[in-house]
């Protein structure tokens, strides 16, 4: 059987990178005009309002490439092998892909609402859970080899909520959330590509490209921020991207079931960070959703590394841990 043309992954990633990068100035202008900015204040280091354009630019890059890809497949504008494989994948995964795009738009909207009005934590978590439930109902679910639909829904919603909020909380320094997201997207996309899951790999490389297109506008100096809209979007996309690949096959020995832990390894840095912050705050009687400066990035930034150095170290740590999945 002829192999899938890997240049399709390159096109998806490069297309998302360019679409995101070219849309940032437009969204920056619109956010400034509409007042969608992050004002200076408590625990913030910027001295002037910064447009919250990152999430909108990322969604633009993602949607543009996925729409262009579907048109290219329908019109047979790309390699016949890619058309055949992707058309088959779209036929099987169409409801899931639609649910993911709906969920991405919904999480973007929830985050934007939070940016504007500072939602109560209970309301925000409820809205996030409803989105996660809708995605699970479309078939994007975790099973962990337990034949229980109720358990599958529960663990899927818990996973999406955990990863979404972990990435949201990691958005505390320039480039950190997007960089960690890019590392995770790379490994998850690579895994899918190596195991012949072409549509999942295309989605992963598209997310990777969009994040790389945004990063130069946010690191080391920021002209735009992700805001809660963008960090919600990044977290949600990584959560579902970690669910979609089949990490385990019945062809393998039972010990290979441990491969389902790969997403935990790939996302180890943001997940461990949110865990230690939650424990730290709980031990001091502080609600875990109340922000502070005790994240791993803050602790590292108080060393000679400084803030940019702390971010790069966490990127490298995430990349090194993620490499264990290979």
Distance CA 99, CA 116 (A): 25
How do residues 76-85 score in pLDDT, each as one tens digit? 878 788 778 7
Distance CA 129, CA 261 (A): 23
- 65-85 in b/e form (b: 16+ CB < 10 A) is bbebbeebbeeeebbeebbeb
- Answer whether residue 281 shows pLDDT above 90: no
Strand blocks (E) in 16-130: 37-38, 50-51
Distance CA 65, CA 160 (A): 24
- Answer whether residue 247 shows pLDDT above 70: no
How do residues 21-45 score in pLDDT, each as one tens digit? 999 999 999 999 999 998 875 555 5
Record the pTM: 0.92
- Answer whether residue 251 shows pLDDT above 50: no
Backbone dihedral angles phi then psi of residue 140, each to the nearest 5 degrees? -85, 90
Backbone dihedral angles phi then psi of residue 73, each to the nearest 5 degrees? -65, -45
How do residues 257-278 score in pLDDT, each as one tens digit? 667 789 999 999 999 999 999 8
Q: What percent of the chain has pLDDT over 70?
A: 93
- Answer whether residue 248 shows pLDDT above 70: no
How do residues 170-197 score in pLDDT, each as one tens digit? 999 999 999 999 999 999 999 999 888 8
What is the dihedral sign for C-alpha 277, 279, 283, 288?
positive
Range 102-124 average pLDDT? 95
Higher-confidence residue of 284 and 164: namely 164
């Amino acid at each position: 059987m002829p192999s899938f043309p890997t240049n399709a992954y390159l096109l998806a990633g490069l297309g998302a990178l360019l679409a995101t990068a070219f849309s940032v100035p437009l969204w920056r202008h619109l956010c400034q005009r509409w007042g969608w900015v992050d004002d200076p204040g408590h625990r913030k280091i910027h001295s002037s309002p910064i447009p919250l354009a990152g999430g909108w630019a990322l969604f633009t890059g993602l949607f543009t490439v996925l729409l262009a890809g579907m048109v290219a497949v329908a019109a047979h504008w790309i390699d016949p092998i890619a058309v055949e494989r992707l058309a088959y994948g779209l036929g099987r995964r169409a409801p899931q892909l639609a649910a993911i795009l709906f969920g991405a738009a919904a999480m973007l909207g929830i985050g934007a609402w939070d940016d504007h009005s500072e939602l109560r934590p209970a309301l925000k978590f409820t809205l996030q859970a409803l989105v996660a439930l809708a995605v699970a109902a479309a078939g994007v679910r975790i099973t962990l080899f337990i034949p229980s639909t109720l358990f599958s829904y529960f663990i899927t919603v818990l996973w999406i909520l955990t990863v979404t909020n972990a990435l949201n909380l990691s958005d505390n320094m320039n480039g950190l959330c997007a960089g960690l997201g890019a590392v995770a997207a790379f490994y998850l996309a690579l895994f899918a590509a190596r195991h012949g899951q072409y549509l999942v790999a295309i989605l992963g490389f598209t997310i990777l490209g969009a994040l790389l297109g945004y990063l130069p506008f946010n690191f080391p100096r920021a002209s735009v921020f992700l805001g809660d809209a963008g960090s919600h979007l990044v977290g949600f996309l990584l959560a579902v991207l970690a669910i979609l690949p089949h990490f385990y096959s019945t062809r393998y020995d039972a010990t290979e079931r441990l491969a389902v832990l790969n997403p935990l390894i790939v996302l180890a840095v943001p997940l461990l960070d949110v865990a230690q912050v939650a424990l730290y705050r709980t031990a001091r009687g502080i609600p875990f959703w109340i922000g502070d400066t005790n994240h791993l990035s803050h602790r590292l930034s108080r060393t000679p590394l400084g803030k940019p150095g702390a971010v790069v170290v966490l990127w490298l740590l995430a990349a090194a841990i993620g490499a264990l999945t290979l």
